[in-house]
Each structure stands twice: as structure tokens, then as C-alpha cells.
Chains A and B, each alone.
Chain A
Amino acid sequence: NAGVTQTPKFRILKIGQSMTLQCTQDMNHNYMYWYRQDPGMGLKLIYYSVGAGITDKGEVPNGYNVSRSTTEDFPLRLELAAPSQTSVYFCASSRQGGGYTFGSGTRLTVV
């Protein structure tokens, strides 16, 4: 019972590089989310999805893109990485009305 799996766990990017953060869940949850967590700032919603083929922006979407081609997968794409994107990224999933299940996070540093 894996829950929500995120890869990689750690990554260092150079300014201007691109990368994809992977997220997979095996609980057949319709809802999936990407949050970033900065020290002392709590969790901020980047993008979310209510089902395969449907995505929408959260509070801080600039510099990111997502896709949801299957129920299980919700990758987050960073284009032209900037130092402001240094953060810890969490993927989560849920059923409607249920609590979120979070992954273990990806710690990203942009230098």
C-alpha cells in the first residue's frame, strides 16, 4: 500500500533549467494537488486536479505547469527554474470530503 509516491526526493537545478516532479497515487483518488512549503510560510497550493483531464490553478501557479492524463499520475513541470522556486514540494490526493494523503516531498534547490 504505497499511497502517494513522489520522485525525486532531492534535486539541485541551475537557473534556467527545466524538470518534472513526478507524483503517483494508488488509492484511486479523484482529487490531486501540488503544494509548495517554504520555511514559516505554510503550504501554498500550486495546481490541483479534480479528475483525469481536468486541472486548475491554485494560489501560486506562475512558473509551473501540470497535466493529468490518468487518475494515478499528476506530474508538475518547472520551466526555466528560478531561485524563487527553491522550496519543498508536496503532492497530495483525496476523495471528495476526505482528508488529504501527502507524499514525502521533493526538496528542490535552484542555484
Chain B
Amino acid sequence: EDQVTQSPEALRLQEGESSSLNCSYTVSGLRGLFWYRQDPGKGPEFLFTLYSAGEEKEKERLKATLTKKESFLHITAPKPEDSATYLCAVIQGAQKLVFGQGTRLTINP
């Protein structure tokens, strides 16, 4: 059965303190891994799609990387506005996404 596990569950950083979020997955034949950002009271917002090991994508202070077993979301010099829950998901079957439980990130000024 396809599974996605994110760690840590919660992370609190000071503004400017870089760190990484982890997404471990078990899936038979990865066809895509997605990262989403979710703000309180809102729906998830698409960030990145990664398709193969070694692939990297960047957007502002965020960089997503992919290996055969896990993905990392690196956040460099974060700002308070980067505070959100970050969700990881893998494609299962015909375009269905299986989500991890998320990492709640808080950036203190």
C-alpha cells in the first residue's frame, strides 16, 4: 500500500534560520511527488511537482529535492510569511493523490 510520512509534525524556527522538511514515501513506481502549502482556513496551494530521483525545483526561499525514498523541502532564510502547513503527496493509480499528514512550520520574527 502506498504511504507518505512527513517529519517533523511541527517545526518552529527563528526568522533567517534555514532548515528542511522531510517526506518519506513507499510507492510502487513513483509517477510524481507533489508539495503543497496550506494556510489556516484555506485549501492547499500547489508548490512543486517532482518526477524522478535527482530532480530539484526552486521557488523563492523554497527548494524541493527528490531521491528514490524521500523528498526534502529546504527553506532558506525563512520569513514569518512562510509560516504554514506543508503537505507532501504521491500519485496513486489514475491521478489520485495520497497525502502525508503535513508539517506545521512556524517562523518567529
Interface contact A45-B96, CB-CB below 8 Å = yes
Is B78 located at the chain interface by the 8 A CB criterion?
no
**Please, what's the 1-or-0 string for B31-43, where 1 marks a CB less than 8 Å from any CB in chain A?**
0101010000111
Interface contact B100-A42, CB-CB below 8 Å = yes
Question: When chains A and B are docked, how far (Å) is the Cα of A42 from the Cα of B107?
Answer: 21
From A97, A100, A101, contact of B97 by CB (8 A):
A100
Is A74 located at the chain interface by the 8 A CB criterion?
no
Chain A residues whose CB sits within 8 angstroms of the CB of B9 once the complex forms: 40
Q: For A9, give the chain B residue with the smallest CB separation.
A: B41
Question: When chains A and B are docked, how far (Å) is the Cα of A44 from the Cα of B94?
Answer: 16
Contact stretch, chosen from B11-19, B44-52, B58-66: B44-52
Chain B residues whose CB sits within 8 angstroms of the CB of A44 once the complex forms: 99
Q: Among residues 86 to 106 in chain B, which have CB atoms less than 8 Å away from a CB atom of chain A? A: 87, 89, 94-102
Our count of residue pairs bridging A and B at CB distance below 8 angstroms stands at: 54
Interface contact B96-A104, CB-CB below 8 Å = no
Chain A contact-residue range equals 20 to 34
Question: When chains A and B are docked, how far (Å) is the Cα of A48 from the Cα of B95?
Answer: 10
Interface of A is mostly: strand
Interface contact B95-A105, CB-CB below 8 Å = no
Interface contact B46-A43, CB-CB below 8 Å = no
Chain A residues whose CB sits within 8 angstroms of the CB of B97 once the complex forms: 33, 43, 45, 100
From A42, A45, A58, A102, contact of B43 by CB (8 A):
A102
Give the Cβ gap from A8 to chain B, nearest Cβ, in Å.
14
Given contacts A42-B102, A90-B43, A102-B43, contact A31 B49 (CB under 8 A): no
Given contacts A33-B96, A94-B95, contact A101 B46 (CB under 8 A): yes
Question: When chains A and B are docked, how far (Å) is the Cα of A57 from the Cα of B19?
Answer: 38
Which residues in B have some Cβ–Cβ distance to A below 8 Å? Answer: 4, 9, 32, 34, 36, 41-46, 49, 87, 89, 94-102
Which residues in A have some Cβ–Cβ distance to B below 8 Å? Answer: 4, 31, 33, 35, 40-45, 48, 50, 58, 90, 92, 94, 96-97, 99-105
